[in-house]
Amino acid sequence: MQYFPLFIDTVNLNVLLVGAGDVASRKLALLTRTEANIHVIAPEVNPEVKAYADAGRILLSERPVVQADIQNYDLIYLATANDKLNAELATLATERGIWVNAVDNPAYCRFITPSIVDRGRLVVAISTAGAAPVFARTIRARLETSLPQSLKPLFDFVADKRLEVQQRLTKTATRRLFWERFFDTNGDRFDVRTPEHYQNAFNNIVSRGEILLLDEATPVELLPLAAIPLLQRLDWIYSEVGLAEDLAELVRRDANRAALPALSDISREYEQGSRMLLVADTQKIEQLKAHFPVAKHLSPGAI
């Protein structure tokens, strides 16, 4: 993974954008959605950039950039029509410890801007590490159609309720069960019934134990799509060997991990509501299937 995805808090973030043409204005259209302090430097400015300045959203300096400008910023975007100038300024920014993006020149980028699906508090970022931006846009188009606009007010509602949930439900595991129940009932809608679904989710919160079995020889890419949500809800992952990289990508990242315990310990964990994945060889999986008839066996094309 060459580019590690991060979401940056833009409050009090100082950003410099060098250039004010069409490419720069497209970057500015995204940046102005954030809470960053934005300074644009360019000798010639297009109407879109000028409008942001007139509205007081950005600080605009209508002049050529100089080397002394490349300091005291958290992020710098270089979007001039002069590739040589962009490269020189990018090198200078890197030397001064500033993260820089030279538009359309990955070799001089300390970071890149992904393709973004914006649903308010829910933001999805897509990147092909610069290899195929056209395909990234295709993925974005698919997500735009599958993620409804109602997610914006829904996540505003959820954010407003988080403190109340923390006060009413003191255990982390119970809060997770609460939110699972809320989203299972409410879905991705935000309507007059959303507050009702929220209140109902507090009723009868009980842990439902779950045992998933996976033969360590099973190719992960052959698992059914229905297995993915189950792997994302795990509390424990038990295995005698380290998880394969492709399986580790599918399971809940903060699930606890340990070696296979005794059968009695598995039974106790199940009765206490733990959701667990047991990864073992074929012989052991057959034994576990016989001992735990309630277990779900994850196998190619079936659960």
Tokens describing residue 255: 């699930």
Distance CA 296, CA 303 (A): 6
The pLDDT assigned to 43 comes to 95
Q: How far is CA 271 from the centre of its chain?
A: 33
What class does CATH assign to 114-146?
Answer: alpha beta
Three-state secondary structure readout of the chain? CCCCCCCCCCCCCEEEEECCCHHHHHHHHHHCCCCCEEEEECCCCCHHHHHHHHCCCCEEECCCCCHHHCCCCCEEEECCCCHHHHHHHHHHHHHCCCEEEECCCHHHCCCCCCEEEEECCEEEEECCCCCCHHHHHHHHHHHHHHCCCCHHHHHHHHHHHHHHHHHHCCCHHHHHHHHHHHHHHHCCCCCCCHHHHHHHCCCCCCCCCEEEEEECCCCHHHCCCCHHHHHCCCCEEEECCCCCHHHHCCCCCCCEEECCCCHHHHHHHHHCCCEEEEEECHHHHHHHHHHCCCCEEEECCEC
Domain 210-298: give its CATH architecture.
3-Layer(aba) Sandwich (3.40)
pLDDT at position 133: 83
Q: Which conformational region is residue 138 in: left (phi greater than 0), alpha (psi within -120 to 50 degrees), or beta? A: alpha
Token pair recorded at residue 22: 């069409």
Residue with tokens 């990018």: 90
Backbone torsion region of residue 156, taken as left when φ is above 0, otherwise alpha when ψ lies between -120 and 50, otherwise beta: alpha
* pLDDT number for residue 303: 58
Q: Is the pTM of this model over 0.75?
A: yes
Fold type of domain 1-113: Rossmann fold (3.40.50)
CA 162, 251, 239 angle in degrees (round to 5)? 130
pLDDT tens over the chain, length 303 residues:
888 999 999 999 999 999 999 889 999 999 999 999 999 999 999 999 999 999 999 999 999 999 999 999 999 999 999 999 999 999 999 999 999 999 888 889 999 989 999 999 999 999 988 788 889 999 999 999 999 999 999 999 999 999 999 999 998 889 999 999 999 999 999 999 999 999 999 998 877 799 999 999 999 989 988 899 999 999 999 998 888 888 999 999 889 999 999 999 999 999 888 999 999 999 999 999 999 999 999 988 765
Q: How many Cα atoms sit within 13 Å of 141 on the Cβ side?
A: 6
What per-residue confidence (pLDDT) applies to 301?
72
Same fold yes or no, 1-113 and 114-146: no
Rounded CA separation 215/143 (Å): 33
Domain ranges of the chain: 1-113, 114-146, 151-200, 210-298
Other Cβ atoms within 10 Å of 109 Cβ, number = 20
Amino acid at 17: L
Asked whether the beta carbons of 37 and 14 are under 8 A apart, the reply is yes
The pLDDT assigned to 163 comes to 97
Which pLDDT does position 39 carry in this prediction?
A: 98
Rounded distance, CA 138 to CA 122, Å? 19
